[in-house]
Amino acid sequence: MKPLPYGKQLIDADDIAAVAEQLGDDWLTQGPTVAKFEAALCEITGAKFAVAMSSGTAALHLACLAAGVGPGDVGVTSTNTFVASANGIRYCGGTPRMVDIDAETGLMSLRALDEAVRAVRPKVIVPVDFAGAVADLPAIAKHGAVVIEDAAHSLGAEYTHGGRSYRAGSCAHTQMAILSFHPVKHLTTGEGGAVTTNDPALDAKLRELRTHGITRDPQRLTRNDGPWYQEQQSLGYNYRLTDLQCALGLSQAKKFPGFLARRRQIAAQYDAAFAKAPFVGQLVPLRVRDGVTSAYHLYVVRFSGPSLEAIAARRKAVYMALRDAAIFAQVHYVPVHAHPDYAPFVAGQQFPGCDAYYASCLSLPMYPALTDGDVERVVATLGTIVSG
């Protein structure tokens, strides 16, 4: 049978032609196509500035650096995320503080965040948008720390506040947001990421950090030996994204509205199916937070049972049975606090919400190339498994 992964890129002839055309151009690395892609990201998110980078992890690292995180500083983030959300804090010499989640939504628990902020006074808070839904950014912003929205899952999502609608990554209630363009995300550059912001000073800092900390700005140079002259004025990194990758990203951005619409269609098909027998009482879709229109990076279901051990065993059995049917579901995520390398940072802490979520969660296939027939196959196979 045709394998159905949990996520997959959709590359067509237009994308291939765009990259081939770029190969014939004078620029292959960081050139004018990068700037065009950044403008497209501003159009999608509504942010004033976008700085393209080599990965979402690089974006997290430089966003934390631009926020001033250093040794002795604490950064707070969700424990239900890929480790990069916390690693970005550590790369700067900061100390990550993990907070629990709401098991029904997978998003950061505001109560747990309140407790953490009272205890540690963080330099930055990195709320993680999960599965396509945006965290409660206005509430999180009230704590006064620099807020960096991890929007790797939520490009195209929207949320309401005060009677207005805002887009993920718009930085309307944050100082910065990060995006990811890994192949399973909403649009891809192969590997790639970006930081969005509305602050021109942060934009300038991010651009300098992205390219070795080097500047050519005549007003900032300590001397000027000629047109070739440049200076490293801070310790930066080579986190540049190439014109080749941005040619692909630009082509993908043109199709982004269609990608987003298809994800929502698939989610609606799943929602309708799981509201009926044999699924009622067996599993429930992850709840989308009130006031949010999800971008559905993931479609997550949660299993029920008499204990976490029984639920986890049931989830594993379903995962393996789907795998036998060439349906490659996934678990998102192994919690950050469960990784051995994070044991020193979470000693004595409890994460009941995330533990309950992790024991029960399963991500089903969700990507634009998934056909209605593919969705029906997933539902029918899952129905046979849960009825057995």
Q: Do residues 288 and 161 both lie within one domain?
A: no
CB burial of residue 344 (10 Å; 0-12, 13-18, 19+):
exposed
Please check whether residues 186 and 65 belong to one and the same domain: yes
> What is the Cα Rg of the chain in Å?
21
**Residue 304 and residue 222 share a domain:** no
Choosing from 252, 271, 294, the residue where a domain stops is 252
CB atoms within 10 A of CB 331: 16
Q: Say if residue 375 is in the same domain as residue 275.
A: yes
Nearest-CA neighbor of 300 among 181, 150, 133?
A: 133
Residue 240 sits in the same domain as residue 264? no
- Name the DSSP letter for residue 92: T
Question: Residue 344 sits in which domain range?
Answer: 256-387
Tell me which H or E stretch contains 38.
helix 32-45
Number of domains in the chain: 2
pTM score > 0.95 for this model? yes
**91 and 138 co-located in one domain:** yes
* Statement to judge: residues 218 and 297 lie in one domain: no
What single DSSP character describes residue 79?
A: S
CATH code, domain carrying 329: 3.90.1150.10
Tell me the residue type at 309: E
- Residues 222 and 260 reside in one and the same domain: no
Q: What string of pLDDT tens digits covers the 388 residues of the chain? A: 999 999 999 999 999 999 999 999 999 998 999 999 999 999 999 999 999 999 999 999 999 999 999 999 999 999 999 999 999 999 999 999 999 999 999 999 999 999 999 999 999 999 999 999 999 999 999 999 999 999 999 999 999 999 999 999 999 999 999 999 999 999 999 999 999 999 999 999 999 999 999 999 999 999 999 999 999 999 999 999 999 999 999 999 999 999 999 999 999 999 999 999 999 999 999 999 999 999 999 999 999 999 999 999 999 999 999 999 999 999 999 999 999 999 999 999 999 999 999 999 999 999 999 999 999 999 999 999 999 8
Report the chain's terminal Cα–Cα distance, integer Å: 21
